[in-house]
Amino acid sequence: MRRYLSLKRAETLMEKFKKVRILVIGDLIMDHFIWGKVRRISPEAPVPVVEVTSESIVLGGSANVVNNIHSLGGRAVVTGVIGSDNDGRRLIEMLKEKGIPAEGIIKDPRRPTTIKTRIIAHSQQMVRFDREKKDRIGPETSAKVISYVKKAVKAADLVVISDYAKGLITQQLVEETNAVCQSLGKPVAVDPKVEHFDYYKGVTIVTPNNLEASQASGVDITDDETLHRAGEVLFNRLGCQALLITRGENGMSLFETASETHIPTVAKEVFDVSGAGDTVIGTLALALASGASFREAAVLANFAAGVVVGKVGTATLSPEELHEAAAKGLKTTRLLK
């Protein structure tokens, strides 16, 4: 066994977060939560009746990646597509209230702003319904996004592609983004969707969850052997520098050339995994841009995920929460090579 990150090193990296600038490209979403209690079953149908006590709307999708970067002290700029509607206007207002630039957000009157509504009762999600249009964005809108990326990447330390398969992320967008990043020596980190895996060839790091890695590799991950095989298939297929498979209660597994690192979970209680992948990619991006190795960045991202899954709803964490999680976790955690 070997420890790959000391608390002193973690503190040094986290202190650098505030000097880092991340460009986030992805599907912008609004997350709408309806909170309530269930006391009876409906006489009209065998379904629970939720007595609504409150509602909240928070940044979701790639906007949640931005929010996580911001909450950890980093600087973020974002590009994506919204509709010319109230939800889109509210999304921009929420970003601006946090001091996050929104000039890279393109309005498309032919599309609605994606909004996911979740009904939560007694800390349990009862149902979710989505209002969205998932077909590919038009060439004119895509050209505007690519134009902004080529301009904004010059001032960024790292680029995140947050793919929710809502129509923004195309092969052309990924290839042009990766090409300009490679020419400038800027890393590209991707939170993927299965149907777009072949788009990500040659990027720096890809972070699928266990199900996405199983589906994309064609290997049902059930044990260490199938995990190794799936990781090997995807790593070779993508030609990336690193592959990080997030595995829920089983932690994370990092694949690099000629090495694997398995990171055990640190979550004490799991209330909600909504947006946990956004926290992982956001923290990973900040750490890598601050000079962390892939292993160091993955360990910090694992600590961050352990915090947010203990919260209900789409969540972020503060630098203090990440520091506390790292301080506790590094006392007991060993990583298996």
pLDDT digits (tens, 9 = 90+) for 130-139: 999 999 999 9
The two tokens of residue 107 are 């309005």
What pLDDT band is residue 182 in, cutting at 50, 70 and 90? very high
Q: Which of 31, 108, 157, 278 is catalytic?
A: 278
pLDDT digits (tens, 9 = 90+) for 94-142: 999 999 999 999 999 999 999 999 999 988 889 999 999 999 999 999 9
pLDDT tens, 37-50? 999 999 999 999 99
Residue spans of the domains in the chain: they are 7-28+60-91+137-332
Separation between Cα atoms, residue 337 and residue 334, nearest integer Å: 10
Q: Which CATH architecture has domain 7-28+60-91+137-332?
A: 3-Layer(aba) Sandwich (3.40)
Residue 223 annotated in active site: no
What band does 266 get if pLDDT is binned at 50, 70 and 90? confident
DSSP string, 199-251: GGTT-SEE--BHHHHHHHHT----SHHHHHHHHHHHHHHHT-SEEEEE-GGG-
Q: Can you give 68-129 as a three-state secondary structure string?
A: HHHHCCCEEEEEEEECCCHHHHHHHHHHHHCCCCCCCEEECCCCCCEEEEEEEECCEEEEEE
Q: Is 0.95 surpassed by the pTM of this model?
A: no
Reading across the β-sheet that carries 28-41, which strands appear in turn? 48-61, 28-41, 114-121, 124-131
pLDDT tens by residue, 286-316: 999 999 999 999 999 999 998 988 887 778 8
Residues 6+ apart with CB under 8 A from 183: none
